[in-house]
Amino acid sequence: MRYSLATLLAIAATSQALSFHDIRDFGSRVLQEAGRGPRAPQGPPPGVPAPPPNGVPRAPPGNGEIGNCPAVWQQVAKELSTSMVSDGQCNDMARGAIRAAFHDCGTWDMTQGTTGGCDGSLYLAKEYTREENRGLQDIVPKIGALAEKYKVGVADMIQFAGASAVKLCPGGPTVRTMVGRKDSSTPNPEGNLPNVHAPGDDLVALFNKKGISAVELAALVGAHTASKQNLVDPAKAGAPQDTTPGKWDVEFYSQTLDKTAPFTFPSDQQISMQRESGPAFKSFARNQFGWTAAFSGAMTHLSLLGVASPEKLTDCTTSLPGGSRRRDVKAAPINGRAV
């Protein structure tokens, strides 16, 4: 049986035995073997600096502390389930939560070591009022209020809400979700989030500095399957990035590539054409299972940026609204796993 690039990436991304550093290397090798990427020695792909010993966090070994997740997170999941879905589809609150999860972590790069990143400062330091976080002024205080209501960490609530939003979108995968981060009210640096008008090479370089590969970037940007733009072109406020913004599907990839999307961010177009991210972007357009599995691994990686001791976190994946990772795989069509 011959597996597609997206499926091979998915196998890597969902393996509990692999660290995210391993996933990054695996993705590079797959691209090389497919003739879609430059040959390089084993190790990080071209342009990706080796992370410092205390730099990019790896996934906690094994299954973490599954079974020890505080019961309060099930209550949180129940409340989120009623607020993030409208008429059977994910709504604007879900979209905002997904974006907030990225923006709390995405300010981090490897020069910061185990400080900053996913630390709740998006709310606690009022980073949501920055120009680069426009559009989050409504959702972030709501997430902060939920953390206060349930007496849990703000950083954890931001990531749990984002993972819940992904799961609640029809077709959305289960993202491995950890709790136990340390909150901080110290502002993270400005200017470390991607610019919607940046060239593809600049975007890949920006994420490489965070320890996130071009393949992971191609997977993460697929979250725009559920997004709507309001600020890039105010004249087209509310325009989605594909024709099914209430569902978690690969229409974003295919419609970006064939230029039929209602609205496409310039940065998404750039990522689809960039030599390192483009092959994965195109592969995901043909494989829902491959993309959702790769996205899950990449989002968990993102959710650990700046976390000092990820092995000490508690795995609360089973508290997410509905389903499990195994159920995601069983639900995938056979033709989504192999070609």
CB contact set of 208 (below 8 Å; sequence gap of 6+): 47, 48, 49, 214
Please indicate if the annotation marks 225 as binding a ligand.
yes
Question: Please, which residues bridge with residue 179 across strands?
Answer: 314
Sequence-distant (6+) residues with CB within 8 A of 330 are none
Return the structure tokens found at 179. Answer: 């709790």
To the question of whether residue 244 is assigned a binding role by annotation, the answer is yes
- Can you tell me which residue has the tokens 């996913």? 118
Residue 103 annotated to the active site: yes
The values of phi and psi at residue 102, to 5°, are -70, -45
> Binding residue per annotation — 121?
yes
What would the DSSP string read from start to end of 45-56?
PTT-PPPPTTSS
249 is in an annotated binding site: yes
* Six-digit token string for 252: 């974003």
- Give the CA count within 13 Å in the CB-facing half-sphere of 216: 29
DSSP SS3 for 68: coil
How far is C-alpha 299 from the geometric centre of its chain's CA atoms? 3
Question: What is the CB neighbour count within 10 angstroms for residue 35?
Answer: 8
Residue entry with tokens 């695996």: 26
- Distance CA(292)–CA(285), nearest Å, equals 11
> Which residue stretches of the chain are H helix?
5-14, 20-33, 72-83, 92-105, 121-124, 139-150, 154-168, 200-208, 214-220, 251-257, 266-273, 278-284, 288-302, 325-331
The catalytically annotated residue of 21, 103, 197, 301 is 103
Q: For 56, left (φ over 0), alpha (ψ -120 to 50), or beta?
A: beta
| Residue 111: C-alpha distances to residues 49, 62, 188, 215, 269 (Å) | 11, 28, 12, 22, 29
Residue 107 assigned ligand-binding role: no
Binding site, annotated residues for Ca(2+): 104, 117, 119, 121, 225, 242, 244, 249
Binding site, annotated residues: 104, 117, 119, 121, 224-225, 242, 244, 249
What residues are annotated to the active site?
A: 103
Binding site, annotated residues for heme b: 224
